Amino acid sequence: MIPVRGYEGRKVGVLGLGRSGLATARALAAGGAIPRLWDDSPESRARAESQGFDMTDLTRADVWHDMAALIVSPGIPHLYPEPHRLIARAMAAGVPIDNDIGLFFRSWSTEAWDDMDPTPRVVAVTGSNGKSTTTALIHHILKEAGRPTQMAGNIGRGVLDLDPAREGEVVVLELSSYQTELARALTPDIAVFTNLSPDHLDRHAGLGGYFAAKRRLFSEGGPDRAIIGVDEVEGQFLANQLSQGPGDDRVIRVSAVQKLDGAGWTVFARRGFLSEWRKGRQVASIDLRGIRGLPGAHNHQNACAAYAAARCLGLAPRLIERALHSFAGLPHRSQLIGERDGVLFINDSKATNVDSAARALQAFPRIRWIAGGLGKEGGIGALRPHLGSVVKAYLIGHSARDFALEIGETPHEICETMERAVARAAADAQPGEVVLLAPAAASFDQYPNFEKRGEDFTRLVQKLLDG
């Protein structure tokens, strides 16, 4: 646990009692603060009370006059589409609002670091797609290199649940736009921006607000090194804003679709090969094509970003290459479940929007595609240019029939349930094909979250493989 510093003897509100909220309450208490906990859900309050926490009804006006801060869980809106009523009350009362990420950055370093050589460092990863895989991959490379490391944030543990830093340790954080937008302190040593595509637009009042939330990690964080995916205009703009000139190697540009020229520091992947260039010459190359845990161009972009972060931390290219080959991938993100008679079964349940589904569909040459669920605004018409590799679609969930109308001439079958879709796709699949779950939709019509959807797919596939 990281005891929160700066609130000794003062009352601090905690709104939202999920994983991060309860970790925050424990860390505040460990640092000498007096946490005042609340959640709108009676079930969440009861669960917290069963763990020994006391509740304070933050809806009462008299609790705000001596509150030092309000710490908010990421899922609670603080600005758009409108502030939560208790956040609005905190703002009216002049109470500073923060989150666990801000508390972490103000509390992570201690006096004990004066005797450490090298001192601990933080790598923070944000972006629309690939940030979980990139975060996990950096963490994996560091572990394989024998470096002390912990992983937290939007993946793994809550940041305040981390163990106190060890000498030379690297903490790798995945940060969502919800987290970067609200944190009052953002000071990573290395910051990574993977890419940008439309998502969470209601929470940020449009794409500009969404990008601005991501940009805070760089503009306010002031990292020593910035690793920027430049395959979209937003990444190009961000890299330009941070760089002092063409040869500024504090900014490392990353691409999965183009060779990057110039005098600076670049890492890019073309035709399955990762290349690192510095000062106009190539210094390393890695063949990514045989790495099963990183299939497709989108994962090659993740590999480039993770490689660049590892190089910033002083790791040699050959050591990084060995670690890439041993990376198994993350559950529900291009996860290889198994193989039968030359057919691969891939779980990409995390592909909940059009952009992430498009990336998955470009990773394999012949696909039996399982898609559907609770469709998002705008539908999936934008996927049509990426359906050339789809042999047949097997559509499930609430939006199955809407999806059927939007995929044009692509052969399809309305299966409605995951069980029927897996059975039909497996029965039809030929050697060399891939049965791919990439739903391009939310899961909430049939499952509580994308993890449960992916677990159901995995269970059904394992049953087939074992049979």
Query: Which residue ranges make up the annotated binding site for ATP?
Result: 127-133
DSSP helix/strand/coil, 382:
helix
Task: Determine the angle formed by the axes of helices 131-144 and 296-312, rounding to 10 degrees.
Answer: 50
Residue 387: its H or E element: none
| Cα 23 off chain centre by | 20
- Which amino acid type is present at position 304? C
* CA-wise closest residue to 347 among 357, 361, 358, 333: 333
* Residue found under tokens 């990426």: 386
* Cβ contact 307:274 at 8 Å: yes
- Cα angle 288, 291, 293 (rounded to 5 degrees) comes to 125
What's the CA gap between 197 and 354, in Å, rounded?
9
What's the CA gap between 336 and 101, in Å, rounded?
32
* CA-wise closest residue to 430 among 368, 346, 364, 360: 368
Question: Which tokens is 270 given?
Answer: 């073309």
Residue 428: its H or E element: helix 418-428
The dihedrals phi and psi of 153, each to the nearest 5 degrees, come to 100, -125
What's the CA gap between 46 and 176, in Å, rounded?
28
Rg (CA), the chain: 23
* CA-wise closest residue to 5 among 38, 32, 26, 36: 32
Peptide bond into 118 cis (omega under 30): yes
Residues facing 414 on adjacent strands: 395
Q: What number of residues does the chain have?
A: 467
Q: Name, in order, each residue with C-beta under 8 angstroms of 6's C-beta and a sequence gap of 6 or more.
A: 31, 106, 107
